[in-house]
Amino acid sequence: MQDLVTVFGGSGFIGTQIVRALAKQGLRIRVAVRQPHLAHTMRLMGDVGQVEVVQANIRDEASVRRALTGAQAAVNAVGIFHDTGRQKLTAVHVDGARNVARMARELGVERLVLISGIGAHSGEGADYVASKGQGETVTREAFPDAVILRPSVVFGQGDKLLNTFGQMAVYSPVLPLIGAETRLQPIYVGDLARAAAAAVTDPACAGRTYELGGPGVFTVRQIVELVVAETGRRRMLVPVPFGIAGLLAKLSAPIGLITPLSPPITAGQVEILKNDNVADPALPGLAQLGVATPMTLEAIAPTYLYRFRKGGQFADQVVPAA
């Protein structure tokens, strides 16, 4: 019988692609999500019976235990950028990660992969970056052989980065730039998924930390310019100081607490943009996980940003003259 892999957060932007990559390898997958009735289409990613969907909340030990029972491997792809109701950064990234790692160890799960992020550290506080770093620490404490994957910003159809700026370019003549000169190394979600699948299946990955970035390094300004060019529009790009961006994030935070909507900018996003988000060459990366030719931002972005053009997919992409 094929190995069973439980994927927590398997219906999310990254988790969905991880499920797809694992299914292509012939593994059985258990997609563990808070609201399974919203994830029924996940079953279509494999052969009949290959993918099942179960209810689990990583904040609840009993549901985590049920989701892991009988599994040989697990992937924790759960992540949030801001507090929403009872979904707090510390509760999800730290307490939830501890629950998954501890239960995996107790139940004899052989392999565990945690999706973290470049820049994660174990500082004090409950902000996004610190909580991610603390999640790494508690995972390794409970499951020493866990594989930690730290991607840079992730792009692909359904991403929050390029799609947000594409939407803004449609309706606003001015686009704000937070951390305009901050350097990012965007990684295609499909490549991240392939790397995660390799980490699940290759025993040599046990206990290692990988930093994953795509083939190109861009400033935030360059990325936004690429998005705007794909929309076929001319827009003014205005740098926003971090102090003002942080204040806007605080003022908009209640949106995520009292409504199902995401705030336009979060403290976690501002925090990430304060420092370069580039893979450390001293750590193993995509190549060591078998992804030798990662996809470029320039090749993938047009395949889903076309919807923001005035005339749609087949519209002239040339930006009109001033």
Is residue 251 assigned to a domain? no
- Any idea what DSSP says for residue 180? T
Of all residues in the chain, the percent with pLDDT exceeding 90 is: 77
Please state whether beta strands 147-151 and 111-115 pair in parallel, antiparallel, or not at all (unpaired): parallel
Residue 306 lies in a domain: no
In a domain, 198, yes or no: yes
Residues 6+ apart with CB under 8 A from 164: none
Q: What is the pLDDT of residues 171-227, one digit of tens each?
A: 999 999 999 999 999 999 999 999 999 999 999 999 999 999 999 999 999 999 999
Q: pLDDT tens, 227-249? A: 999 999 999 999 999 999 889 88
Mean pLDDT of 20-48: 94
Is position 270 within any domain? no
Per-residue pLDDT band at 1 (split at 50, 70, 90): very low
Nearest to 225 by CA among 237, 243, 242: 237
Using only C-alpha atoms, the chain has a radius of gyration, in whole angstroms, of 20
Cα end-to-end span (Å), the chain? 63
In a domain? residue 81? yes
For residue 145, give the CATH number of its domain.
Answer: 3.40.50.720
The domain of 99 spans: 4-154+187-213+278-291
* CB-based contact 155:121 (threshold 8 Å): no
Q: How many CB atoms lie within 10 A of CB 49?
A: 8
Q: Residue 62 domain-assigned?
A: yes
Is residue 225 in some structural domain?
no
Q: Where are the alpha helices (DSSP H) in the chain?
A: 13-24, 61-68, 89, 97-106, 128-142, 161-171, 189-201, 220-231, 242-258, 267-272, 297-300, 302-305
Report the domain count for the chain. Answer: 1
248 lies in some domain: no
Neighbours of 106 (CB within 10 A): 12
Amino acid identity of residue 227, one-letter, is: V
How much of the chain, in percent, has pLDDT values that exceed 70? 93
DSSP string of 188-233, one letter each residue: EHHHHHHHHHHHHH-GGGTT-EEEE--S--EEHHHHHHHHHHHHT-
pLDDT, residue 198, reads: 98
Q: How many residues does the chain have?
A: 322
pLDDT in tens, 96-141: 999 999 999 999 999 999 999 998 876 655 588 889 999 999 999 9
Question: Could you give the C-alpha distances from 127 to 77, 90, 172, 242, in angstroms and in order?
Answer: 18, 8, 30, 16
* Average pLDDT over the chain, rounded to an integer: 91
